[in-house]
Structure 1
Amino acid sequence: MSRPARILVVGPSWVGDMVMAQSLLIALKRHHPHSQIDVLAPVWTFALLDKMPEVSQALPMPPLARGQLGLRERIKLGKSLRAHRYDQAILLPNTWKSALIPFFAHIPLRTGYTGECRWGLLNDVRRLDKTVLTQTVQRFVALAEPSEPSTPPECPAPQLRVAAESRQQACDKFALQTQGKLLALCPGAEYGDAKRWPAAHYAELARLKRREGWQVWLFGSPKDAPVAAEINRLSHDACIDLTGKTTLSEAVDLLSLADVVISNDSGLMHVAAALNKKLIAIYGSSAPYFTPPLNENARIISLNLDCSPCFKRECPLGHLHCLVKITPQQILHEMQALSA
C-alpha cells in the first residue's frame, strides 16, 4: 500500500492571500483525502494556519528582510526539508527566490506559475492565463489541478475554525461583554489610503449603531491605531478600540462574535468572510472582481467610477471620490438588507 501524498505548500505573506490559500488546501484535500499538507510561511501567519484543519504542520520561512535573497538560509532550509520526503511542492508566490527552498529540498514535483523565469527551479511550470483565471483565489486553486485549466476551477470557500475556549480567553483578556448586537469595524488597509473608507464615515456609522444599542469594536494592526483613534474621537468614544492590542489569533477569535462586519478591502475582510460573518466590504482603488470576499453573506460596495479601480496606494486625482461618496447611510441600508 502506497503512503499518503506529502505536499508542501509555499504560502503567501499577506493576511488576505493566506486566507484565500485555504481554498487551495481544501481543494487538495478533496483530490487527496489522506494527504499530509504542510505549509511553509512567515511565522506571523501561523495564527491563521492554526485555524485551518487541512494543515498538518506549519513550517517557518526564514525571517529575512523584505526583498532580501537570503540564499544561504534558503539552501540550508531546503536541505533540512529533504527528510520530510515531500512528493510535491506548490508555490503560491511568483518570485524566483520562493522556488529555491523546494529545489534544494529535492522535491520531485515542483508546481507553480512561471513568475520570475523559474524554469529549472520548477518542473511543473504553469502559464497564467489572466483571461481565464481572473481572481486570485482561482489562480491558487488551479494549482491543485494536474494541468492548466481552460475554465475557472471550482473554488471552495475558506472556513477558519475558532475554538470556543480560545474565544472566551480573548474576551476575558480584554474584559469584553458579548450581550446584545455587535458591529465590528475594520478601518485599516495595509496597501494604502486609497483603500480606506474615511474615518469620519466610520465614526458616524459607529455613533448611529451605538445609539441603537449595538456594541462597536474596532479591529486592526498597530499601523491602524491612528485611524482607529480618529474614529473613536469623532464618534465620541462610541467604540471599544482593540486595534493593535490583540494578536492576529485573538482578532480572529473576537471577529467570530460579530453580528455584522464592515471592512475595507483588507486582510481582515477576508478573515471575516472565512468566518462566514455578515459582511459589508467597501472597495475604492481595488477591484472587487479580483479579490472578492468568498462568502455568500457578503455584500460588496463599489461605486464603479470611471477612475476606479486604479490600484494606486494614494488617489492620483486627489479627491478619493470612490470612497468619500459611499455614505454611512448607504452602509446602514446594506446592513438592514443583510438582516432582513
Structure 2
Amino acid sequence: MPTTSRSLIVAPQWIGDAVMTEPLLRRLHARGEQLTVGALPWVAPVYRAMPQVHEVIEFPFAHGGLQLKARRALAKRIAGQFDSAYILPNSLKSALLPLLAGIPKRIGYLGEARIGLLTHRLKNPAKGQRPPMVAFYSALSGETDLDADRPQLQMPADVVAQALTELGLQRGAYHVFAPGAEYGPAKRWPARHFSELAQKLALPVLLLGSGKEAALCEEIAVAANAGRPGACVNLAGKTSLIQALCAIAAARSVVSNDSGLMHVAAAFGVPQVAIFGSSSPLHTPPLSAEASVLWLKNDPAYQPPLDCAPCFERECPLGHTRCLNDINPARVLQALQVG
C-alpha cells in the first residue's frame, strides 16, 4: 500500500498509556500513514515493539516546564518532514512541538488552552464519561468501531533471544511478578502476599520494576527465599526496559497490579493475573483473552461489600485497604492455573 502521508505521533509519558495507543497506530498504518513516534526515553522502547512504527525519536525533554529552547531546536530539525501530527497527551506543552515544526495538520483533544495549537480538535469527555483508554486514543483516527481494538506488541525473536541470554533466562522457565504501581500503595497488592505466592510456585519468579521499586521487590524476595530458597530473583532497577519487555514476552505467566507492565503482558498475550484495588478494570483492563482480573468490588461472595471502591486514591482513605489485603495468594494461584 503506498504511503499517503507522513505522521508524527506525540506519545504519552506512561508505559501503560503507550501500550494502549497501539490500536490507534495500527489503524493509521493500515490506511497508509508512515508513522514516526516521538516519545520520552523511558517510553520509547514500547514503540519499538510495534511493527507499524517506521521510526522512534527520543524526546530530549524532562518532567516539568515548557523547555522551549529544546522544543524549538527539535522543531527546527524535523520541520518539513511531516504532514500530520497526532498529539496524544492533553497537555499544552505536548502540542507545542508540532506547531513550532510547522506541521499543517495537528490532531488532538481539547485541553489546557490548546485551541490555537490544534487544527483538528476532539472534545475531551468529562472524567466520569471518558471511554476506556484504548477507545479514547483510537478516536483520534476519526474512525468508528473502536471497542474492537486490543493492543498488540511484537518483539523481534532475535531481540528476545539476546535479552534472555543477557539475563540468563530460558523461555517459559519462570514467572514474572510486577509488584509496583507508580500511582501509590492503594494499587499495590501486599508484599507479603507476593512472597507467599512465590513460595507456592514450582518455577522461579522474576521481580520486575523500576529502581524506585527495588526496595519493595527486595522485601518480597527476602521473605520468599527464606521459605523456599531460589524462589525469587529481584531484577527491579537492574534491567533496561527492552530487557524487561522481552522477559515478560517469554514468561510462563505474569502477576501484577494495575500498572504499565500489566498492559505490556496483555499486549504480548502472556497468561496473567491482574489484581485491582483502588482503581477499576472497567476503565483500564488488561485487554487479553489470557488475562484473569481479580477485583473484590465485583465479587458478590465478598462481604461486607466494598462500597468504597473504586476510590482512585493513592492511599486508602479508610486505612484498611481491604480491596487488596483480602485477596489471598491461594486465590491468585487458582486464577493462574499453574504449578
How far did residue 215 of structure 1 move? Answer: 2.2
Q: Mark the CA change 1:166 to 1:3 in structure 2 (over 3 Å): closer, same or farther.
A: closer
For the residues of structure 1 that align with 2:76 and 2:331, how far apart are their CA atoms?
55
- TM-score, normalised relative to structure 2: 0.91
Can you give the 5+ residue segments of structure 1 that lack an aligned partner in the other structure?
A: none
Name 2:215's counterpart in structure 1: 226
Number of residue-to-residue matches in the alignment: 326
Specify the SS of the correspondent of 1:56: strand
Name 2:302's counterpart in structure 1: none
How far did residue 71 of structure 1 move? Answer: 1.9
How far did residue 169 of structure 1 move? Answer: 2.1
Name 2:294's counterpart in structure 1: 301
Name 2:29's counterpart in structure 1: 29
How far did residue 3 of structure 1 move? Answer: 5.5
> Given residue 104 of structure 2, which amino acid in structure 1 is its aligned partner?
P
- The answer to whether the 8 Å contact 2:171/2:251 transfers is no
Alignment partner of 1:45 is 2:43: yes
Per-residue CA shift, 1:44-85, capped at 9, x if unaligned? 222111111111111122323x2211122223322322230x
Q: Mark the CA change 1:254 to 1:290 in structure 2 (over 3 Å): closer, same or farther.
A: same
Name 1:161's counterpart in structure 2: 154
- Once the two structures are superposed, the pairs formed by residues 209-224 of structure 1 within 5 Å of their partners are 209=201, 213-224=202-213
How far did residue 232 of structure 1 move? Answer: 1.1
- The answer to whether the 8 Å contact 1:26/1:156 transfers is no
Identical pairs, percent? 42
- TM-score, normalised relative to structure 1: 0.90
Q: 1:74 aligns with which of 58, 71, 74?
A: 71
Name 1:114's counterpart in structure 2: 110
RMSD in angstroms over aligned alpha carbons? 2.0
Alignment partner of 1:321 is 2:322: yes
- Once the two structures are superposed, the pairs formed by residues 1-340 of structure 1 within 5 Å of their partners are 4-30=4-30, 32=31, 34-64=32-62, 66-84=63-81, 86-130=82-126, 133-145=130-142, 153-178=146-171, 180=173, 182-209=174-201, 213-235=202-224, 236=226, 237=229, 238-304=231-297, 305-336=306-337
- The answer to whether the 8 Å contact 1:27/1:155 transfers is no
For the residues of structure 2 that align with 1:291 and 1:37, how far apart are their CA atoms?
25
Q: Mark the CA change 1:144 to 1:204 in structure 2 (over 3 Å): closer, same or farther.
A: same
> Given residue 7 of structure 1, which amino acid in structure 2 is its aligned partner?
S
For the residues of structure 1 that align with 2:54 and 2:158, how far apart are their CA atoms?
21
Q: Mark the CA change 1:179 to 1:296 in structure 2 (over 3 Å): closer, same or farther.
A: closer
Specify the SS of the correspondent of 1:111: strand
How far did residue 207 of structure 1 move? Answer: 0.4
For the residues of structure 1 that align with 2:23 and 2:307, how far apart are their CA atoms?
32
